[in-house]
Amino acid sequence: MPKFEECLQRLEKIVTELEQGDIPLEKSLALFEEGMQLSTTCRKELEQAEGKVEILLKQNGKIQAEPFEPLTEKAESRK
């Protein structure tokens, strides 16, 4: 399984554990820190993938690449 999917699955487990709220503060902080690191890793992989897609689209010449909008900004605008 690709690294991105593994990171995403682990992030989902961390969120579930944190939402349950029945874990000690120290463990919550450790999970939060791990989640932030995973989030950064996922974001970097998405940005690299977006860069590759833009290069491919520009090479094709028929389709104009649109600017990349990070998922976090899209999620914020929905609130």
The whole-angstrom separation of Cα 51 and Cα 47 is: 6
- List pLDDT tens digits, range 50-68: 888 888 877 766 655 566 6
Sketch out the chain's domains with CATH numbers: 3-78 (1.10.287)
Confidence label for 15 from pLDDT (cuts 50, 70 and 90): very high
What's this model's pTM, rounded to 2 decimal places?
0.62
Looking at residue 63, its pLDDT comes to 58
Q: Which of 31, 49, 51 is nearest to 39 (CA)?
A: 31
pLDDT at 12: 94
What is the percent of the chain where pLDDT is above 70? Answer: 72
Quick one: CA torsion of 68, 71, 76, 78, rounded to 10 degrees? 90
